[in-house]
Chain A
Amino acid sequence: MEIQKKVGKMYHRVDPTFKRKLLESPGGETFKFCYQCGTCTATCPVARFTDVFRPNKVIHLAKLGIRNVVYSDAVWLCVNCYSCTERCPQGVKVADVMRALKNLAVADGVIPEFSKAFLTTILDTGWAYSIPASRIAKRASMGLPPLPKPFLEDLKKLAKMTEASNLLEQERDAE
């Protein structure tokens, strides 16, 4: 919700150039072919549990150029299972479009809290989530080999090259 508030302030109008932007970003090429049959949403395992995510609605709004809604939490709910892409009759690579939208959102500085926290954890610890000392002790007591050492330096280099760390810093500065 926080994101929506922020984005709502940034872009509250229809952006006619958005379509082109999405078409040009890798993965977004096919979204124009959508004819709103609803197969993707009907297939989507996420849509069965929440009303927030409707892939065909996201594509429809993207076509209209309403990017504050497209940049909402919705796109981040896509789990990239590719069921929609498999069944789309028009050859729209729905999951790829969602990824392209995520990339566009990030490029505009819109990153959900969860993804930020996730990225921070990876860069700080080298793990997807921080493992408590108690669990490491338990592993040792069960005779399991110690966990491999994470390559923190390499990860940081990668983050720098992909500009992921810049994004995080910008966010921090803003705060």
Chain B
Amino acid sequence: MESSNSKSESSEEIRIGVNVCHCGLNIGGSVNCDEVAEYAASLPHVAISRALRYSCSDQGQELIKKDILDYKLNRIVVASCTPRLHEPTFRRACEEAGLNKYLFEMANIREHCSWIHLHDREAGTEKAKDLVKMAVAKAALLEPQEEREVPILRKALVIGGGVAGIQAALDLADTGYRVYLIEKEPSIGGRMAQIDKTYPTMDCSICILAPKMSDAGRHPNIELLTASEIVEVKGYIGNFRVKVLKKSRYVTKDCSACGDCSTACPVTVPNEFDVGLATRHAIYTPFPQAVPSTYIINKENCLNTNFIVCDKCIVACERNAIDFTIIPETIELEVGTIIVATGADVFDPTVLPNYGYGKFLNVITSLEFERLINAGGPSGGKLLRPSDMTIPDTIAFIQCVGSRSEKGTDSCSNVCCMNTIKDALLIKEHWPEVKIYVFYIDIRAFGKGFEDLFRRAKEEGVIFIRGLPAEILEDRKTNNLWLIGENTLSREIYKINVGMVTLSIGLEPREDSNIIQRLFTLSRAPDGYFMEAHPKLRPVDTPTGGVFLAGCAESAKDIKDSVTQASAAASRANILMAQGKVTIEAITPTPIIDNCKFCELCTKVCPYNAILVDRENKITEVIEAACAGCGNCGAECPSDALIMRHFTDEQIIAQIDAITEQDANMKIVAFCCNWCSYAAADFAGVSRMQQPTNIRIIRTMCSARVSEKFIARAFARGAAAVLVAGCHLNDCHYIDANYQTKKRVERFWRRMERRGVRKERLQLLWASAAEGERFASKVREMAETVKNVSSEEIQKTVKAFKKR
């Protein structure tokens, strides 16, 4: 962290060490690394250049450190993989050799070169040379920086009171941190509270969950906020300010949960907890084990909308615990870390008319089945079919309803196979004479003890048929159901009559995921679940520092996996809070008061209100702790009064110049934001999506860093095309900074029009980190545009944008 031992002085001669990594055959297979290293040696300021087999290995790092000392290097360039992967590794190596870590620069010749040009070694090598040249040009202008430390509040917020949220909250509270557990429903418990038994051990679900719920309810370190929703999130890692809307329960703390009020209430509505199979009153508690154990009035159901017209509950309550004057309140919490455990929704099978759910009485979903077979459920644990309240003699389970399908989610829901097997065994336990069919595509019994349970089901006589029914038809007299389909193993068409059908519905991302996504600037995978920072190595972190994921918010998973992940997320949050401080990257702007005209344009575009301009006293100040380093202000400033550290104008212009030095008329100068579009280009590389070799990517933290003068510079230097790429609007990691990107690009388009330059040569792309193909196809499209740009046109453009 400390940088006072930096060896670099501005007056000192610049000596750059370049290391070109083979990465085994990952780079060496399609790029001639030795040739690139040789080329790098010829670049200005380069003191030593070598090709390494694996630069990230201990040996590679040792060699880099040794070079720093032996050759008195004061800048290091490594050409290897994406900086999003190994920049921290090499920065650490530099620090260990006494070099400030901001004097390190990386060229991405794997994801952005070798992997996307697998079959053109020559062009790939040329591109790699260019990328190294860009890095060397930037490295020569790098300055040592000092990082600031910010404290981390030792308080955590857990969003979602399902089993994952409860586990994470308990882990953190037991460690000694203050935890706020927020739940949107009146009680914590989540999906697990609705389920009858758990697989593979057949434990009673609520019996093992209820103790955890009450632990969370009375833990001195946990503050439960039920019937509450998050409305606003501000701040940054370690210092979040979260606004929570506490809806009114209209019942005070005096409630003893005796239930007299509910008995007196004249209103009945479907009960959400029993998925509508039973009713509740307007004043109710969702289920007997609810935590907090207190009643709530749903104002939408209650007769007292504006005036008190019905006082049945007030009269019935002996403790006078009902108060209609309580109003919803908004409270503000200050926390250091946040765990998102918002869970999942279930698929709605009404979109599949061929299964007749909602039309035929005896077709139910697996969640409804759980409530039916639960002793605390509406039928008292008796498996009664809805049409005539009798126990059916045959039951069919249909798997993959809404999972692995374009009609629901594309992915496997992970839980339905084992849930069905468990349900089948439960039926066999109570009513052995009931015949059970399971229609499946594949039975995925992948976990510990799952195959045993599957085997037991087969032993008990459950009939497994491979091939889903195409259609369910109802016998109007008996309300029995005909299933028509094909047994794909014997290739025979079956037509089977059953008394009841259970649709094994899959899990889906929460309907309101987009709200959480926007509040915390998270990313979502194509299937809609929240994306982790790295799918393998950082599975519970999110791209937003200090925010972690647990449970079904990340992907569909069962109870055990949710609990495991919750403990992992708690542990990750604990690491941050135990350290008590975090260093903030030194990428914030430095104001140059002499240049400043105090026009306040920067303050207008700053998403964090992190710049203070005092026109009278001639003071311009950047609040570093609040600044996230997007660079929006630097791009907006008309008088060069803000220097964006580590992404200075000079550095970026040096990169543009390096790109356009040779064959500029064939090249696309691209500016990509670190979080989405650069990651999308990485993703295209990891997925080996082959692309033309024209593009050269300059990384900035946000697309809003891209000043119009950069675009003008690229065109003035003869570039064929320019691409500006960022996160989707409203998905920006800097709140709304990319609206400024849009504004600047649109302004530049108008400028191009005025000067007679074709607008197609400047492209704006929004691509999320998961949209590798979107990025790749944009590159392909632009490469076609480049082909149509004549040399006369380039000359004209150069003239149009050259500084007069």
Contacts and interface: CB of A to CB of B under 8 A. Distances in A.
Contacts of B467: 37-38, 41-42
Contacts of B487: 38
Contacts of B641: none
Contact of B468 (A37, A47, A48): A37
Nearest to A40: B470
A140 B592 CA distance: 99
Contacts of B442: 35
Nearest to B484: A42
Contact of B406 (A35, A36, A47, A89): A89
B484 to A, nearest CB: 6
B179 to A, nearest CB: 42
Contacts of A51: 491
A165 interface: no
Interface in A16-72: 35-43, 47-48, 51, 54, 56-57
Contacts of A47: 486, 493
A87 interface: yes
Contact of A38 (B406, B471, B488): B488
B404 interface: yes
A107 to B, nearest CB: 28
A42 B471 contact: yes
A87 B493 CA distance: 17
B509 interface: no
B466 interface: yes
A125 interface: no
B526 to A, nearest CB: 14
B405 interface: yes
Given A37-B467, A42-B469, A87-B470, A56 B486 contact: yes
A38 B405 contact: no
A89 B493 contact: no
Contacts of A54: 486, 491
Interface string B398-413: 0010001111000000
Contacts of B404: 35, 89-90
Contact of B488 (A37, A48, A88, A91): A37
B441 interface: yes
A173 to B, nearest CB: 39
Nearest to B406: A91
B354 interface: yes
B580 interface: no
Contacts of A39: 468, 470, 485
Nearest to B442: A35
Contacts of B488: 36-38, 41, 56
Interface string B771-788: 000000000000000000
B441 A42 contact: no
Contacts of B354: 43, 87
A40 B467 CA distance: 10
A55 to B, nearest CB: 9
A57 B493 CA distance: 13
Interface string B457-497: 00000000011111100000000000011111001010000
A59 to B, nearest CB: 11
3 nearest interchain CB pairs? A42-B470, A89-B405, A38-B467
6 contacts: A37-B488, A38-B468, A41-B470, A47-B486, A51-B491, A89-B405
Given A37-B468, A57-B491, A87-B354, 11 more contacts: A37-B467, A38-B468, A38-B485, A38-B487, A39-B485, A41-B485, A42-B469, A43-B470, A56-B488, A88-B406, A91-B406
Interface of A: 35-43, 47-48, 51, 54, 56-57, 87-91
Interface of B: 354, 400, 404-407, 441-442, 466-471, 484-488, 491, 493
